[in-house]
Structure 1
Amino acid sequence: MKKVLFTLCLITAAWLASAQLVEPVKWSFAQNKISANEFELVFTAKIEKGWHMYSTDLPEGGPIKTSFYFEKVENVELIGEPTPDKEVTEEFDKSFQMDLRWFSDEVNFTQKVKVAGAGEITGYVEFMSCNDETCTPPMEATFSFDLSGAANTEIAEAKPEANSTAGGETRDYWSIFFLAFLGGLAALLTPCVFPMIPMTVSFFTKQSKTKAKGIRNGIWYGISIILIYVILGTVVTAVFGAESLNSLSTNPWFNLFFALLLFVFAFSFMGAFEIILPSSWVNAVDRKADKGGLIGIFFMAFALALVSFSCTGPIVGALIVEAARSGGLAPVIGMLGFSLALAIPFALFAAFPGWLNSLPKSGGWLNSVKVVLGFLEFAFAFKFLSIADMVLDLHILEREVYIAIWIAIFLGLALYLWGKIKLPHDSPLTHLPVSRFILGTMVMAFVIYMIPGLWGAPVKLISGFPPPVDYAESPLGVGRTQPAGAVATGHSSGTMTLGMHIGPHGIPLFDDYDDALAHAKATGKPLLIDFTGKGCTNCRKMEDNVWVEQEVKNMFLEDFVVVSLYVDLKTKLPEEEQYISETTGRKVRTIGNKWTDFQISRFNRNTQPYYVILDANEKQVGEGYGYDPHADDFIEWLNEGLSEFKK
């Protein structure tokens, strides 16, 4: 009986240990013969509930995308690339400051091929999966196809992961709608649109013989405005296509074009020149409007869009640019929000002309609104320049430069609001209105808030606009450097030793296990291993929410030697250092593969983030620590490990 119980304990222990390893994505492969010499290869990923697998078209600097590698292709011509059978879920990730795309539940990728005689294809698919708490390292599933003329067959099976619904996309659409709605309200206050309200209402009052007809005409006028702008958004979506817009959002040349477009609009708003459509277009539409009836009212709305283009064009352009980065129906949703804000006042004042008496008189304040919008567009243009700079890895518009430019732009805006700067179309300012003084003071407070960002402050209010902290001239902030090659002291004043680099939030880290272990032995400190990934969202969340705490920083600097092992590094190992893992049976090709295999073989875990403390004999101290963005819990775990190490 004791032997039976002992055996059951061993089985249970083995099962619990194996449960630490996760394979949330399972792959299967099949081939379909579609003609005498054409085949369709199908790669199916079934993703566990709560997980997601990243798409095939992610921008650089983010998680590992799904990639297909065809190593052996004999007598076969690949036609195009593997194409998914469903749309991706897309959501902005604050940790990476970029839009990320992924699949959940199940997705099929199809690859068409032509065969000359008997063909053969072998290779592997590399993929990465995450849930709300952790990520797997890049994993591989191998495939092999015999295309000798066999009919439809299922080839093999393998493994992947899942989570996410269209909820993220819906949230994006709502945010775009409200942003566009605010843009429409801003457009109302420009000198091209605001004076049109009483003129339009006066026209409807004269043309409408009864109050009921006036209300009907006003409502149709508003609907016409909405239709015109929604059609514009639909055309943009139809011309580019949802998938193309997704791809273009991370294309550096397209982002440069967006930036140039916003610069042109900004200078136009500031009075450098005016964007005017050909007068023949406006005259042609005016003639259509003279016909009267519902058709005439529609062309009146069209005439409003053309006449006010010099003011609404820059706002519409900026909104379409931002919506295009989200892809899908975003341009249509954006134009719906913009036109709704624009149409409601025209429709209401046309239906109830008596309300006109409550409107403020036109004047120089309208041009001031236009100039303020110009400053904002000028600032937003640098966001697109920044994306292009990061994708091309030019390091021209790094974090400090970006923040400095924004400080200068908003300082200029504050001085303009206070009347210290005059632009071409400004009216004489005999006194400073209270509204301009208050708004200028708020902008100046924003400028003062951004200044510490030059010295490494997180400036969370503008999170998502500047490049991330590690894309900077000095990760510690302007004027703060650490001498290369200095001997580490273990104090928070922090010099660095050979093999270290500046990590998140200015913390000195190793990136090689052997170097870190040698330093830990030399200094008599415990070794803290951080299993992480360049493309691990939850790793960034731990860094941004936990590592940023001063107590954690102090413990990293004074009590531990910290090494970050990136499981997704694509750097190839020298041929002689590549090997087949005894634990997984997979080939270890890259540095990332090496650290993945190390984590699995030593600690029986394959998810990140994961933290382990070792003593000088490489024996684990206490339990490991996974994703938990509560700093107090992480500090408690560090203290427990430190106490155990000192025993």
Structure 2
Amino acid sequence: MRFLLLSFLFLTSVLTANAQLFDQQDSKILNPVKWTAEVEQRNDSIYDLVFTAKMESGWHLYSQEEVAAGGPLPTEFNFNAEEGNYELIGETREPDGVALFDPVFEMNIKYFEDEVEFGQTIKVKPEALPTVEASVFFMVCDEEQCLAPETVPFTLSLAAGRALETVSKVEISEEDHAKTAALNINVKGAAGVELEEEEEAGYMSLFFLGFIGGLIALLTPCVFPMIPLTVSFFTKGARTKKRGLVNAIMYGVFIFFIYLLLSLPFHLLDSVNPEILNNISTNVTLNIIFFVIFIFFAFSFFGYYEITLPSSWSNKMDDKASSFGGILGVFFMALTLAIVSFSCTGPILGSLLGSSLTTDGGAMQLSFGMGGFGLALALPFALFALFPNWLNSLPKSGGWLNSVKVVLGFIELALAFKFLSNADLVQHWGILKREIFIGIWVIVGIGLLLYLFGIIRFPHDGPKTKLSKGRLFLGFITLAFVAYLIPGLSNTHHANLKLLSGFPPPLFYSIYEKETEGPLGLKAYKDFEQGVAAAKVQNKPILLDFTGWACVNCRKMEEQVWSDPAVFDVMQDEFILISLYVDDREQLPEAEQFNYVRPNGTVKEIRTVGDKWATFQTLNFRNNSQPFYVLMDSEMNLLNKPVGYTPDADKFLDWLSEGVKQFNR
């Protein structure tokens, strides 16, 4: 539905608080996965190690299979088989399954919900019953967020046949205790967290988009001439004026319900399997089919051929309308209109259907869109029947109707590449990198511009005439749109086309080699202590950014919110940005690795950069979701409440400005 809005527009042109920091009730630490392990003996030397993960509702755990760049981190099991008392037989097993659509990463990924078992077979050497040390590294997500990856250790006794209820055998040194204490920075200040959830488009907005689509369909040569003809038939051909009005109104009502009924099969699909439309939306084959169909639609609108339903269908409906008469006859007349106008309405309906399926719209959203479309087609027949004098104000049919079709053809051509882009992103072919996609749109826009100014022509165009004001106006709108697209071809901060955010391929899917220092070219410290030292030297507040390489909402914030000029300027000029990646698998220098002692006495091994910053976030801010933003000074004083995902640039700017004011006080 998002890119329907773009196409139609293309056509028409945190509160502060003084409470004690993070009371237990304010804790945002999530722990949705519980692991257990047991041992099953096959014979004297062969054992099966079984690891079971139970997840809370709504959360899912990822497969061990590697995922392409931009996806989550796979689950990973490690064993101490190198000690020589046993050997691993084969790989760690997991249940079979197919890749499903993941709403966080917007790609097909194999994952597990509710409960899942992993198995590893081992062969024990003669006269050895070792204790198996194992660990699982995993990442979990729900539909809105992902948690920082965790490592859970297991100590399995082959003799007891179960995992031992003991703390890891790692000895805790004085240095471990010192580094554990150093991880706590003793934050002081405001309490609580305000998370902003991404707002979903309401049903009425989708209805409105469908309505706009129906209005556009009214301006096509297949529908527009039918308005005066049909209204005249009802108002003049009926026995009484009242009967003519009733028939015309019922004609409009039936048009509305016919298009509404077209979405019914997709409700049946939804009831069979709620995820089927999600699977359709990222299906490579279907996206390629839509790409081909939209190209086919485009050239039909250009006038090279007509797409029509079999004439026998319309003839049969026309015969039934004549034979039945009355209300039933009016219904078949409405059905006849839907069939004979398909060559013009079909491509627009295809856009509505395709966009609903490929943006996870679902059947209900599709129904609202189709209902809006049908209402827009139906209204003129009812209104002109009630006010027949309005017919005199309608413009005459002519070449302008064909121009509308050609303009729609260019829009269909541009939208076709969105479907090809979907397939390209899922498969990582590298065919439609962001700049190539935008370049194609520039070419399509130039083609439309040349057509509107009369430089290129199509088969059904009439003789050349003086350019109308409408053509000139739309031509200049098209020129402005092409000019807006051109910076998207560059490797500058202007390449982030905010109005099209989420429609072209993401910024990182680029032909250019991107900087990794910080998002959007911002100076970002990857180490907390280095960032604090810089803040002291420059006397600036700190923007602490808990993020992740595989965090989709983090990328959305960077591309859609941080890129706002006002937000970007404040972040660049007023703050020291410290970006801490909680899923970074880079090993820490050996001198910096340690065993973190939790308050309950259990131990977490800090071996990677991600281990350190994920633990740092949980310990100091009682929150383990990303993105998570904190404003503080170099003395560890919070300047206002931390926030999470905040897709509104104005709200995020207000939050930043509030922090700056508090710092200056």
1:437 Cα offset (Å):
1.0
Using the alignment, how far apart are the partners of 1:559 and 1:136 within structure 2?
Answer: 26
1:188 Cα offset (Å):
0.7
Aligned: 1:287 with 2:300: no
Q: 1:221 matched to which residue of 2?
A: 251
Aligned: 1:344 with 2:359: no
Deviations 1:332-383 (A, max 9, x none): 2221111110111123334544432222111111100111111111112222
Using the alignment, how far apart are the partners of 1:578 and 1:393 within structure 2?
Answer: 36
Unpaired runs of 5+ in structure 1? 1-12, 31-40, 47-52, 101-107, 114-121, 144-160, 477-499
The 3 A distance-change label for structure 1 pair 176 and 270 is same
Q: 1:449 matched to which residue of 2?
A: 484
Which of 453, 468, 472 is equivalent to 2:510? Answer: 472
2:236–2:244 contact (8 Å) kept in structure 1 = no
The equivalences for 1:586-625 within 5 A come to: 592-600=610-618, 606-607=624-625, 608-610=627-629
Using the alignment, how far apart are the partners of 1:193 and 1:271 within structure 2?
Answer: 16
SS in structure 1 at match of 2:56: strand
SS in structure 1 at match of 2:363: coil
1:173 Cα offset (Å):
2.3
Q: 2:29 matched to which residue of 1?
A: 23
Aligned: 1:137 with 2:148: yes
Deviations 1:153-189 (A, max 9, x none): xxxxxxxx99999x955x3422221111111111111
Q: 1:45 matched to which residue of 2?
A: 56
1:323 Cα offset (Å):
1.7
1:266 Cα offset (Å):
1.3
Higher deviation after alignment, 527-536 or 621-630 = 621-630
Using the alignment, how far apart are the partners of 1:79 and 1:552 within structure 2?
Answer: 46
Which of 535, 556, 567 is equivalent to 2:582? Answer: 567
Letter of the structure 1 residue corresponding to residue 140 of structure 2: F
1:540 Cα offset (Å):
4.2
1:237 Cα offset (Å):
3.4
Letter of the structure 1 residue corresponding to residue 337 of structure 2: L
Q: 2:597 matched to which residue of 1?
A: 582
Using the alignment, how far apart are the partners of 2:327 and 2:294 within structure 1?
Answer: 36
The equivalences for 1:485-634 within 5 A come to: 501-507=516-522, 513=527, 530-533=545-548, 534-535=550-551, 537=553, 540-541=556-557, 544-546=560-562, 564-568=579-583, 581-583=596-598, 585=603, 592-600=610-618, 606-607=624-625, 608-610=627-629, 626-627=642-643, 630=652, 634=656
SS in structure 2 at match of 1:396: coil
Q: 2:5 matched to which residue of 1?
A: none
TM-score, length-scaled by structure 2: 0.66
Using the alignment, how far apart are the partners of 1:164 and 1:66 within structure 2?
Answer: 28
1:310 Cα offset (Å):
0.7
Letter of the structure 2 residue corresponding to residue 406 of structure 1: W
1:135 Cα offset (Å):
7.5
Deviations 1:426-485 (A, max 9, x none): 111321111111121121122222222223313322223222222222267xxxxxxxxx
1:66–1:128 contact (8 Å) kept in structure 2 = no
Using the alignment, how far apart are the partners of 2:556 and 2:75 within structure 1?
Answer: 23
The equivalences for 1:55-204 within 5 A come to: 126-128=139-141, 136-138=147-149, 171-204=201-234
**Aligned Cα RMSD in Å?**
5.4
The 3 A distance-change label for structure 1 pair 136 and 364 is same
1:321 Cα offset (Å):
0.8
Deviations 1:250-274 (A, max 9, x none): 3333322222222211121111221
The 3 A distance-change label for structure 1 pair 559 and 634 is closer
1:219 Cα offset (Å):
1.7
Letter of the structure 1 residue corresponding to residue 484 of structure 2: Y
Aligned: 1:396 with 2:436: no
Deviations 1:92-129 (A, max 9, x none): x9xx8x699xxxxxxx965699xxxxxxxx99985346
Q: How many residues end up aligned between the 2 structures? A: 543
SS in structure 2 at match of 1:329: helix
Unpaired runs of 5+ in structure 2? 1-18, 37-51, 80-87, 118-134, 155-192
2:215–2:376 contact (8 Å) kept in structure 1 = yes
Using the alignment, how far apart are the partners of 2:477 and 2:594 within structure 1?
Answer: 61
Q: 2:308 matched to which residue of 1?
A: 276
1:57 Cα offset (Å):
10
1:597 Cα offset (Å):
2.8
The 3 A distance-change label for structure 1 pair 215 and 77 is same
TM-score, length-scaled by structure 1: 0.67
The 3 A distance-change label for structure 1 pair 228 and 394 is same
Which of 249, 256, 267 is equivalent to 1:237? Answer: 267
Higher deviation after alignment, 438-447 or 202-211 = 202-211
Q: 2:180 matched to which residue of 1?
A: none
Which of 200, 203, 212 is equivalent to 2:242? Answer: 212
Greater RCO structure (CA 8 Å; 6+ sep)? 2
Using the alignment, how far apart are the partners of 1:297 and 1:369 within structure 2?
Answer: 29
Deviations 1:27-48 (A, max 9, x none): 6899xxxxxxxxxx995737xx
Using the alignment, how far apart are the partners of 1:54 and 1:267 within structure 2?
Answer: 45
State the identity %.
Answer: 41
Deviations 1:505-550 (A, max 9, x none): 1346576x59x969x99xx999987431232626742665447658
Using the alignment, how far apart are the partners of 1:551 and 1:352 within structure 2?
Answer: 52
Q: 1:253 matched to which residue of 2?
A: 285
SS in structure 2 at match of 1:209: coil
1:54–1:65 contact (8 Å) kept in structure 2 = no
The 3 A distance-change label for structure 1 pair 66 and 294 is farther
The equivalences for 1:399-410 within 5 A come to: 399-410=434-445
Using the alignment, how far apart are the partners of 1:221 and 1:387 within structure 2?
Answer: 39
The 3 A distance-change label for structure 1 pair 196 and 563 is same
Using the alignment, how far apart are the partners of 2:585 and 2:218 within structure 1?
Answer: 52
Using the alignment, how far apart are the partners of 1:18 and 1:429 within structure 2?
Answer: 76
